[in-house]
A and B are shown apart, each in its own frame.
Chain A
């Protein structure tokens, strides 16, 4: 092994400091969520009291967030995968423009999108007070991620040769799409799906304006608890949120590592 100079240790120290900046508050908040009295500290004992209180106060926000996230996943799969396929098959200015437009909800701040939805559809029937109103916002915001994930894989596998081979064997379009195209971009669909679920569960910008007292999602409840309840309850609620997104974050990191190791 090469001898490490002073510069190595300085850079390592800096990187560790950065890591501490990111990780320390996560650990602190997780501890605070199970500490009897955070002001007194850990010596006040560990308890699940705050988690129970979160469950009592906010269980419905957790279920609503899960319902919206999975409905959003269904919508983005149905809308996004065929759209990505069409974009992968067509080159040229029209396809580029369509792609650019579809990415816009990521660039435009959520406040603007939410205001636009409210002024346009806020008065239509019961839509404003329905969870579907939030779902619409989430689908708009997450669709670009599904399209880009799938498109990235579709442009890196040799779809044309595969499809031509299948066509020469007499496979019709439906057979080619479901039997050849979809299995070959499974990794992109999986990554896109995890991304959509994670983003939907944590979406706040749009949701804060779109929600009503009857349709509170998890992040809306989080903001609520940070503002008005003791730090232990906010922490316990954050802990519940972490537990919900950690599995998909770990899977996403594993997928990214695999993609890096065999490009």
Chain B
């Protein structure tokens, strides 16, 4: 994973806000001219290459069936299943942990609060390779957990170079951005709703289940989708930890470099891109415009 997945850092947009200038047709050529350079670069270096990649994916020995190997080839299918399960587990764990911490930080002020928030969001822009190294520092051969368990139990706990290490890495990567989203959404909660629920005798658990979580739902949905998409397409962390971890991005990389199987690599990477993009689009349409507002 890398900063590519940092779209949660994108600032929220307020659609149709008061700042929107409703221009007459008079300025149209001018505005078209202003977006033209970006559009040209984007078309030439993104859309065109992706179209080319699509054609190559269908032009290998297997023909267009290459696009189906993600389901028909046992190795690819296992990789896909492992990637989806890992991404789902990371998403669930990140959402749970970040909601608890994010809500706590918004609802309580105490000395050191600002510092705590700064530290929790600091790793926000770490690239995947560095996150991988952080996991090695914690759970690698010379890692902290290994040293502690060695001292306490005489056996060294080392799990960085496996699926568990990857899970830890994605968790590390996702927590800062999801906490930020939760905090931004929680700050907008209407305190009157909570007071009303309390005055009606709601317990703390009822308050959380029926008032707070429903209000946070759009933000959690969008943050969760981003987290899932990130984990699906992530490459740097897996690359740092071990090339033997059987997740889809590593399979694509191996097909491309070691097996020089360009058609399969092209087909798999496009399918992966499509799945990632679809998850984000689905979350956006389920949660409505508030996904954009939640960042």
Among A98, A110, A139, A260, the most chain B Cβ lie within 10 Å of the Cβ of A110
B34–A82 CB distance below 8 A: yes
If A102-B38, A109-B273, A115-B269 touch, whether A14 touches B101 (CB-CB below 8 Å) is yes
Q: Are A83 and B35 in contact (CB under 8 A)?
A: yes
Interface: B137 (CB within 8 A): yes
- Complex: how many Å from CA A21 to CA B134? 10
B60 CB within 8 Å of chain A: no
Main secondary structure of the interface of B (DSSP, over half): helix
Contact A115 B265 (CB under 8 A): yes
Interface contact B118-A198, CB-CB below 8 Å: no
Nearest CB in chain A to that of B53: its residue: A116
The residue in chain A whose Cβ has the minimal distance to the Cβ of B98 is: A18
Tell yes or no: B2 within 8 A of A by CB: yes
Q: Which residues from B are CB-within-8-Å of A83?
A: 34-35, 37-39
Interface-lining segment among B11-19, B190-198, B212-220: B11-19
Q: Which of A112, A140, A234 has the largest count of B CB atoms less than 10 A from its CB?
A: A112
Report the Cα distance A158→B20, complex, angstroms.
Answer: 7
Please state if B7 and A204 are interface contacts (CB–CB under 8 Å): no
List CB contacts (< 8 Å) of B121-144 with chain A. 121-130, 132-138, 142, 144
Interface check A157, CB cutoff 8 A = yes
Cβ-based interface call for B79 (8 A) = no
Residues of B23-41 whose CB lies within 8 A of A:
23, 27, 30-32, 34-35, 37-39, 41
**Chain B residue at minimal CB-CB distance from A231:** B142
- Would A155 and B4 count as touching, CB distance under 8 A? no
Q: Does A85 contact B (CB under 8 A)?
A: yes
Interface readout for A75-103 with B: 1 if CB under 8 Å, 0 if not? 00011101101111111000000100111
A/B pair count, beta carbons within 8 Å: 296
Measured between alpha carbons, how far is A223 from B240 in the docked complex, in Å?
6
Q: Is the CB of A219 within 8 A of B172?
A: no
B138–A24 contact, CB under 8 A?
Answer: yes
Which one of A46-54, A55-63, A66-74, A141-149 contacts B? A141-149
Using Cβ atoms and an 8 Å threshold, which residues of chain A touch B136? 226, 231
B90 to chain A, nearest CB (A): 14
Residue B85, interface by CB 8 Å: no
B interface residues, tally (CB under 8 Å)? 98
**CA A156 – CA B14 in complex, angstroms?**
7
CB–CB A107/B134 < 8 A: no
Return chain A residues, CB-CB under 8 Å to B249.
109, 111
Q: Which of B53, B144, B175, B276 has the most CB of A within 10 A?
A: B53
Given A98-B39, A108-B273, A202-B127; A89-B233 close (CB under 8 Å) = no
Contact between B12 and A101, CB atoms less than 8 A apart: no
With an 8 A cutoff between CB atoms, is B286 at the interface? no
- Assess the A26–B41 pair: CB atoms within 8 A: no
5 smallest beta-carbon distances between A and B, as pairs:
A109-B233, A116-B49, A202-B127, A82-B34, A112-B269
A-B contacts, 28 of them at CB < 8 A, read A14-B104, A15-B116, A22-B120, A29-B133, A83-B35, A88-B20, A91-B20, A98-B39, A107-B277, A113-B46, A116-B52, A121-B45, A141-B4, A145-B6, A145-B9, A149-B11, A155-B13, A156-B17, A159-B19, A173-B27, A199-B3, A203-B2, A203-B127, A205-B1, A208-B235, A231-B136, A249-B124, A252-B125
